[in-house]
Chain A
Amino acid sequence: MTTDRTPSSLSPLAALPHISRRHAVAALAASSAVPALAQFRVEIKGVGLTQRPIAIVPFRGEAQSPQKISAIVQADLERSGEFLGIDASGVALDESTRPDLAQWREKKADSLASGSITRLGDGRYDIRFRLWDLVNGQDLGGQSFVVTEGDLRLVAHRIADYIYQKLTGERGIFSTRIAYVTKAGTRFSLWVADADGENAQSALSSPEPIISPAWSPTGGQLAYVSFESRKPVVYVHDVSSGRRRLIANFRGSNSAPAWSPDGRTLAVTLSRDGGSQLYLIDAAGGEPRRLMQSSGIDTEPTFSSDGRSIYFVSDRGGAPQIYRVPASGGNAERVTFTGSYNISPAVSADGQWLAYISRIGGAFKLQVMDLKSGSVTAVTDTSADENPSFAPNSKLIVYASQQQGREALMTTTLDGRIKARLAGKSGDIREPDWGPFQKQ
């Protein structure tokens, strides 16, 4: 173990001498631990990417812990497209020891995170880490957590968020959640999973289809369409309690729920007055207000992040295209002009990007439009893309696609260069919706 124990650089922990001693002993014991392997596949395309090389050292005590914290952190950072993981397997280092700068510079790492995980007497876990800028030899701080086993992955994601924010200046999205739907046999399930697709927990299981889950702006509730009563109706579901409320169960079909950014209103598609048309409905329930009157199909509403406009799909011009209308109603303006089938709009939180699906020569492909310039980029080479949803930091998109004939959830950077296939439950997997930032 090459540890430079300069007391001044360790001032925060110098106040914790007994902890440091204990760690030093344990670190030696852990040095023979089998390194955790990242279990995620990240596909990187293109050259000339500037990625920050970072070493995430296996946490001391990790080999005995139920979650390999360092592997989760590294996979998170790599999936963002902005980091390159540097092999740190077999290294023994924790938050109380200063890394050997020369050694890590040789390995071309610009930064390093190390830490420890300790099981407490009451069964919970104490997790600590520290981040280092290896180029300047600077201690970038760290955090400690005490959690139950069920929240260990959340802690790993929070650590990745900390690192991401320290090194890029932007907020990380690793501790957010993704909702998606699977079909296994004849059973449909709505899942709430970590942003890497892992740790999926069932929110709803039904013999009838579930589609269009949409996170409330606070991340506590999901609106979705359930066919459990043999017709599409819209529910709002509190995920931590399982309590459900019927929001739209009118005559005909009720679908495509979208939350206003203040969480007070849902836009929905109803056919109660004939045809599929857009309505606004109070999140507490009540009588829907018709947003517009059109001769054709209007559906798939989604609010802009400032709440002022609603993007939606309409075939009023003969073929489905994406339009935008003031949230108070009024004249709709067309947004997509290329191609004859553009659906499933999603707007980034920063208001700059529109993601949607375009049918191009029989293939359904994810497109990203720069709303300022109107320029459009195809970001995938797959042919059955569905249902894009932005990460709350506007840097990644999750979408459903097909790989080797099986449905899969993918994330991509907005330029399409970095893609990752998310882990997920078995069975066909679809309808991802990326949740908001969680309260820290």
Chain B
Amino acid sequence: MNAKLKRVSLALAITALMAGCSSGVKLEDAPVEDRGATSTPGNGGTTGNPNISGVAPVNLDGSARDGAGPVGVARIVYFDYDSYVIKGEFQSVLDAHARFIKASPNRKVMIEGHTDDRGGREYNLALGQKRAEAVRRALGLLGVPDSQMEAVSFGKEKPAVQGSTEDAHAQNRRAELSYR
């Protein structure tokens, strides 16, 4: 191989190395005498992967577990379609939770808003947030300090029941109180 061809091969090798090993080399330019010129290390592109399109998997296990809430008291508030208003029938439930939370400053409640499965995921997340915040405000009116509450949303991601019936929708439009 003459010096000029060697230089070309080296340039190609560097180009290929910089761009990752699957970068194409113009067929006309493909060096033949020295096949190694287009060859780059198999792991040239990324760290820890044998090829440049590699993805390193991350596996998560075990969700946080709920703590105990007030004994014998429901932990779910249901909402009407397209509504963010707490119905009168849930007032006694919220009263009992308010008493329980206020009984110990160490107690912290997460209020998790949910929607039925119709519509977009992010928009439903915002709607679920409205439900959670409605419950947070109601508990605030009952004297629960803001520092002991956090309103979050799961949108439509964690339905209580599967299915697209009216009954399923009704059971999924809810806010859950969970103690951590």
Chain A positions near chain B (C-beta within 8 angstroms): 12-13, 15-16, 18-19, 95, 120, 122, 124, 126, 128-130, 141-151, 153-155, 158-159, 162, 177, 192, 194, 199, 201-209, 211-212, 225, 227-232, 237, 239-242, 244, 251-253, 255-256, 269, 271, 274-276, 297, 299-300, 313, 320, 341, 343-344, 357, 359, 364, 386-387, 430-431, 439-440
Is the pair A431, B121 in contact by a Cβ cutoff of 8 Å?
yes
Sample of 18 A–B contacts (CB below 8 Å) = A154-B53, A192-B55, A199-B53, A201-B53, A202-B55, A202-B57, A203-B56, A204-B58, A231-B152, A241-B47, A252-B152, A253-B151, A276-B125, A276-B130, A297-B130, A300-B123, A343-B119, A386-B121
Tell me the B3-24 residues at the A interface (CB within 8 Å). 19-24
Q: How far is the CA of A128 from the CA of B27 in the complex (A)?
A: 7
Q: How far is the CA of A53 from the CA of B23 in the complex (A)?
A: 27
In the assembled complex, how far is the CB of residue B50 from the closest CB belonging to chain A, in whole angstroms? 6
Is the pair A242, B58 in contact by a Cβ cutoff of 8 Å?
yes
B30, closest chain A residue (CB)? A144
* Count, A-B residue pairs, CB within 8 A: 222
Chain B positions near chain A (C-beta within 8 angstroms): 19-28, 30, 32, 35, 38-40, 42, 45-64, 110, 112, 118-123, 125-127, 129-130, 133, 150-155, 157-158, 178, 180
Q: How far is the CA of A144 from the CA of B27 in the complex (A)?
A: 5
Q: How far is the CA of A430 from the CA of B155 in the complex (A)?
A: 15
A17, closest chain B residue (CB)? B32
- Option from A147, A209, A313, A430 in Cβ contact (under 8 Å) with B22: A147
Is the pair B27, A141 in contact by a Cβ cutoff of 8 Å?
yes
Is the pair B32, A232 in contact by a Cβ cutoff of 8 Å?
no
Please indicate which of the listed interface residues B40, B50, B57, B59 has the most CB atoms of chain A within 10 Å of its own CB: B57
Residues from chain B with a CB closer than 8 A to the CB of A241 are: 46-48, 56
B157, closest chain A residue (CB)? A209
Q: How far is the CA of A28 from the CA of B35 in the complex (A)?
A: 24
Is the pair A297, B119 in contact by a Cβ cutoff of 8 Å?
no
In the assembled complex, how far is the CB of residue A285 from the closest CB belonging to chain B, in whole angstroms? 19
- Option from B119, B121, B180 in Cβ contact (under 8 Å) with A341: B119
Is the pair A228, B119 in contact by a Cβ cutoff of 8 Å?
no
Given contacts A16-B32, A253-B152, contact A359 B119 (CB under 8 A): yes
A158, closest chain B residue (CB)? B24
- Option from B20, B126, B154 in Cβ contact (under 8 Å) with A209: B154
In the assembled complex, how far is the CB of residue B31 from the closest CB belonging to chain A, in whole angstroms? 9
Known A144-B38, A240-B49, A269-B125; further 13 A-B contacts with Cβ < 8 A: A142-B26, A143-B25, A145-B38, A151-B21, A151-B22, A192-B55, A201-B57, A204-B59, A212-B121, A253-B151, A357-B120, A439-B19, A440-B24
Residues from chain A with a CB closer than 8 A to the CB of B19 are: 439-440
B45, closest chain A residue (CB)? A240
